[in-house]
């Protein structure tokens, strides 16, 4: 027996993952059984249910045609159960009940077969419909196909083989179409509703909410670090992360709250009847559950979430999704593993970002961008032995903009390669001029920060080689500073690129060393020339003995690895004295000098 459970009935239940789909199906079956009891007062199977033969629903108001078609079906080796309907009003009701295939006469006395189909949603049909007609004009078949008819047969040359072949063809095609429909509606990995299917469900929920004056909230869940898991381990492990995370999310939801896999590492949850405050509570519970599961399963990651509600923060289902996505994007830039509600300022921020992205591209040509240089001093703080190039943007309206702001915009809007090339080319041009002026010592180092996206660009290494050809004697003096973000993106590829750069005489530095717990994990596989102690450790020197011990360990570790060590953010004489005592090689910070314009740096080095 085919159970055709309608959307309105099924929507009451959780569309669960593989772990929870059994619960959902049991609920569906229990409700279906309840309907059967109420309608028939009996659970005894019908004749159709006892038979394994395909049930053919024959709709024809001609007794002779019914008899002939029934005889032809009985002649088939496949064998068919036939249920005949004569009246047009009964036909519409019969089509809403289970059947395997329907033979529908086009020339009914009261109306046409297409008129019968006109009042029925094709998606509710439990099997294919074959139109039986004395006509064979293309116009009739075309109209029928548009209404969901799978095939049509002509009464003029109808025989048992011809009819059997048409039925088998329609059944096979219907099964394939249902499999494709299932794939289109549901994500095969997690068994959750897919993107487009969920959007239709959400649209219905929002429309109903508008009529009933009820809210609908949406959680936009973005798993943290899935790309890194895929890169470091495998996509099989990443799939495990997705399925396990989906199960955790589903376990925190109640009946009627819909979950879908919206994209690669993104899930959406629709919460009908809930406004922003309770929706935020559910999001926090999901986040806590993911963190708890991560203590047991190391491949279950945390999630960053954005929340928006209809009608307060959105006018329709598209805007609801868009605003929840904007909220999670803004939140992730500050900190991952957080929940952030959408605010109207998010939309203004997005517009401002797009405007700044366009202006940044123009700024490189208009010379609004410039470099300043943070001097790097020897241990005694008496001689400049290197500089770190830092970008600055003198915006015509906003004044000096923070590098963190426009570097992030450059990465987000695909400008990072162009921007990074500009920084390198400008710094190397200045370096060449210093060399020609006799200002450089033999061990002078030019340090340039490199974005993770810029570094992992396939053209980066070859681009560095071309730039080095334009500046004499820079090989051995150029140092590229990398943060940990570069390593978590593509570990193996990064190792290869560092090796290629070393062959060109370009050294590498691990910036913000110690800021994250996993920095040590990269040291066995990468021969860094420099480790830069994060300023957060330097700031605590003189106030925390344990912190001083950690810095001492960093210095000793760098020496044993054959790397130089630089302390960032040195601001007091006490910090300087402690770092000298611990054996730190190089230092930079406001105690010695703030970042200087190129002309001021030249004056300092010439003094």
Q: What is the pLDDT of residue 140?
A: 58
What are the respective helix, strand and coil percentages of the chain, to the nearest 5?
Answer: 50, 20, 30
119-155 pLDDT per residue, tens: 787 777 888 898 888 875 555 566 677 777 888 888 8
Strands 216-223 and 303-310: antiparallel
Q: What is the pLDDT of residue 387?
A: 96
Q: What is the pLDDT of residue 519?
A: 59
Q: What is the pLDDT of residue 40?
A: 37
CA 365 from chain center: how many Å?
Answer: 34
Q: Assign residue 6 a region (left: φ > 0; alpha: ψ between -120 and 50; beta: otherwise).
A: beta
pLDDT higher than threshold 60 for residue 32: no
Q: What is the pLDDT of residue 521?
A: 66
Tokens of 448: 């340039």
In angstroms, the CA 374 to CA 447 distance is 10
In angstroms, the CA 334 to CA 530 distance is 28
In angstroms, the CA 479 to CA 450 distance is 10
Phi/psi for 65 (5° steps) reads -65, -40
Omega prior to 410 cis, within 30 of 0:
no
Task: Provide the pLDDT confidence category of residue 11 given band limits of 50, 70 and 90.
Answer: very low
Burial of 552 (0-12, 13-18, 19+ CB in 10 A): middle
pLDDT higher than threshold 70 for residue 41: no
Task: Provide the pLDDT confidence category of residue 489 given band limits of 50, 70 and 90.
Answer: low
Question: To the nearest whole percent, how much of the chain has pLDDT over 90?
Answer: 37
Q: What is the pLDDT of residue 544?
A: 87
Of 227, 232, 226, 238, the C-alpha closest to 522 is: 232
Cβ atoms of residues 131 and 146 within 8 Å: no
**Mean pLDDT, range 370-375, rounded to an integer:** 94
How high does pLDDT run on average in the chain?
Answer: 82
Cβ contacts of residue 375 below 8 Å, gap of 6+?
384, 386, 387, 588, 592, 593, 596, 601, 604
Of 412, 409, 283, the C-alpha closest to 338 is: 283
CB atoms within 10 A of CB 400: 9
Question: Helices 416-436 and 460-470: crossing angle, nearest 10°?
Answer: 20
Q: What is the pLDDT of residue 3?
A: 30
Q: What is the pLDDT of residue 496?
A: 82
522-570 pLDDT per residue, tens: 677 778 899 999 999 999 999 889 999 999 999 999 999 999 999 999 9
Burial of 35 (0-12, 13-18, 19+ CB in 10 A): exposed
**Mean pLDDT, range 372-401, rounded to an integer:** 90
Question: To the nearest whole percent, how much of the chain has pLDDT over 70?
Answer: 87
**3-class secondary structure for 206-268?**
HHHHHHHCCCEEEEEEEECCHHHHHHHCCHHHHHHHHHHHHHHHHHCCCCCCEEEECCCCEEE
**3-class secondary structure for 546-598?**
HHHHHHHHHHHHHHHCCCEEEECCCCCHHHHHHHHHHCCCEECCCCCCCCEEH
Of 129, 164, 171, the C-alpha closest to 146 is: 129
Give bridge partners of residue 267 from the DSSP assignment. 221, 261
Terminal alpha carbon distance of the chain: 94
Q: What is the pLDDT of residue 217?
A: 95
In angstroms, the CA 485 to CA 407 distance is 14
Q: What is the pLDDT of residue 358?
A: 85
Q: Concatenate the DSSP letters of all residues of 453-511 into one string.
A: HHHTSTTHHHHHHHHHHHSTT-TTTEEEEE-HHHHHH-HHHHHHHHHHHHHTT-EEEEE
Of 249, 440, 453, the C-alpha closest to 241 is: 249
Cβ atoms of residues 130 and 143 within 8 Å: no
270-325 pLDDT per residue, tens: 999 999 999 999 999 999 999 998 888 888 889 999 999 999 988 899 999 999 99
Q: What is the pLDDT of residue 490?
A: 63
pLDDT higher than threshold 70 for residue 428: yes
Tokens of 97: 């009940």
Q: Concatenate the DSSP letters of all residues of 376-443 into one string.
A: EE-TTS-SEEEEEEEEEEEETTTEEEPHHHHHHHHHHTT-HHHHHHHHHHHHHHHHHHHHHTT---TT
pLDDT higher than threshold 70 for residue 518: no
In angstroms, the CA 433 to CA 278 distance is 62
Residue of 504 and 22 predicted with greater confidence: 504
Highest mean pLDDT among 167-176, 202-211, 232-241, 405-414: 202-211
pLDDT higher than threshold 60 for residue 23: no
**Mean pLDDT, range 492-505, rounded to an integer:** 84
pLDDT higher than threshold 70 for residue 46: no
**Mean pLDDT, range 160-187, rounded to an integer:** 82
Burial of 407 (0-12, 13-18, 19+ CB in 10 A): buried
pLDDT higher than threshold 60 for residue 4: no
Q: What is the pLDDT of residue 96?
A: 86
The CA distances from residue 592 to 173, 404, 439, 551, 589, in Å, are 78, 23, 19, 20, 6
In angstroms, the CA 524 to CA 338 distance is 32
Characterize 298-337 residue by residue with b for buried, 16 or more Cβ atoms within 10 angstroms of its Cβ, and e for exposed: ebbbbbbbbbbbbbebbeebeebbbbbbbbbbbbbeeeeb
**Mean pLDDT, range 366-388, rounded to an integer:** 92
pLDDT higher than threshold 70 for residue 503: yes
Q: What is the pLDDT of residue 499?
A: 86
Q: What is the pLDDT of residue 7?
A: 31
150-161 pLDDT per residue, tens: 888 888 778 888
58-98 pLDDT per residue, tens: 999 888 888 988 989 888 777 788 999 888 778 888 888 89
In angstroms, the CA 556 to CA 53 distance is 81
Q: What is the pLDDT of residue 275?
A: 94
577-591 pLDDT per residue, tens: 999 999 999 999 999
**3-class secondary structure for 156-215?**
HHCCHHHHHHHHHHHHHHHHHHHHHHHHHHECCCCCCECHHHHHHHHHHHHHHHHHHCCC
- Residue 45 is classified by DSSP as P
């Amino acid at each position: 027996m085919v159970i055709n459970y309608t959307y309105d009935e099924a929507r009451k239940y959780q569309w669960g993952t593989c772990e929870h789909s059994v619960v959902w199906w049991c609920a569906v079956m229990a409700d279906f059984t309840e309907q059967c009891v109420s309608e028939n007062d009996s659970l005894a199977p019908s004749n159709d249910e006892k038979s394994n033969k395909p049930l053919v629903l024959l709709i024809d108001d001609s007794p002779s045609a019914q008899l002939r078609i029934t005889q032809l079906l009985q002649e088939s080796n496949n064998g068919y159960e036939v249920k005949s309907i004569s009246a047009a009003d009964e036909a519409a009701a019969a089509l809403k009940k289970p059947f395997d295939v329907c033979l529908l006469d086009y020339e009914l006395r009261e109306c046409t077969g297409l008129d019968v189909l006109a009042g029925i949603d094709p998606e509710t049909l439990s099997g294919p419909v074959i139109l039986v007609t004395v006509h064979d004009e293309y116009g009739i078949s075309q109209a029928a196909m548009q209404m969901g008819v799978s095939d049509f047969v002509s009464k003029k040359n109808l025989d048992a083989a011809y009819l059997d072949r048409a039925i088998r063809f329609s059944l096979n095609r219907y099964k394939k179409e249902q499999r494709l429909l299932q794939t289109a509606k549901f994500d095969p990995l997690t068994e959750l509703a897919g993107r487009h299917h969920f959007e239709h469900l959400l649209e219905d929920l929002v429309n109903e909410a508008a009529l009933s004056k009820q809210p609908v909230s949406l959680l936009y869940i973005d798993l943290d670090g899935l790309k890194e898991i895929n890169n470091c381990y495998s996509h099989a492990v990443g799939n495990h992360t997705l399925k396990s995370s989906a199960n955790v999310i589903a376990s925190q939801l109640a009946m009627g709250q819909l979950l879908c896999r919206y994209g690669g590492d993104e899930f959406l949850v629709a919460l009908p009847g809930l406004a922003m405050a309770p929706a935020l509570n559910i999001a926090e519970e999901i986040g806590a559950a993911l963190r708890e599961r991560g203590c047991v399963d190391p491949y279950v990651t945390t999630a960053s979430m954005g929340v928006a509600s209809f009608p307060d923060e959105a006018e329709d289902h598209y805007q609801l999704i868009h605003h929840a996505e904007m909220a999670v994007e803004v939140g992730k830039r500050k900190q991952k593993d957080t929940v952030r509600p959408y605010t109207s300022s998010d939309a203004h921020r997005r517009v401002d970002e797009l405007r700044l992205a366009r202006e940044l591209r123009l700024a490189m040509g208009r010379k609004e961008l410039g470099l300043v240089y943070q001097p790097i001093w020897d241990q005694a703080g008496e001689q400049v032995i290197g500089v770190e190039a830092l970008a600055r943007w003198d915006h015509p309206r906003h004044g000096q903009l923070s590098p963190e702001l426009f570097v992030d915009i450059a990465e987000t809007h695909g400008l990072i390669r162009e921007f990074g090339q500009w920084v390198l080319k400008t710094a190397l041009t200045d370096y060449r001029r210093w060399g020609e002026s006799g200002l450089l010592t033999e061990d002078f180092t030019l340090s340039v920060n490199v974005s993770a996206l810029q570094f992992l660009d396939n053209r980066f290494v070859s681009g560095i080689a071309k730039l080095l050809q334009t500046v004499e004697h820079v090989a051995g003096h150029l140092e590229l500073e990398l943060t940990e973000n570069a390593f978590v993106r593509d570990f193996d590829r990064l190792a290869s690129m560092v090796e290629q750069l070393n062959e060109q005489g370009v050294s590498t530095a691990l910036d913000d060393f110690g800021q994250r717990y996993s920095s040590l994990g990269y040291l066995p596989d990468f021969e860094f020339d420099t480790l830069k102690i994060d300023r957060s450790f330097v700031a605590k020197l003189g106030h925390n003995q344990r912190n001083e011990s950690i810095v001492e360990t960093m210095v000793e570790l760098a020496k044993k690895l054959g790397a130089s060590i630089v302390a960032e953010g040195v601001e007091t004489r006490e910090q300087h004295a402690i770092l000298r005592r611990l054996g730190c090689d190089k230092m930079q910070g406001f105690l010695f000098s703030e970042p200087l314009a190129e002309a001021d740096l030249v004056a300092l080095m010439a003094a």
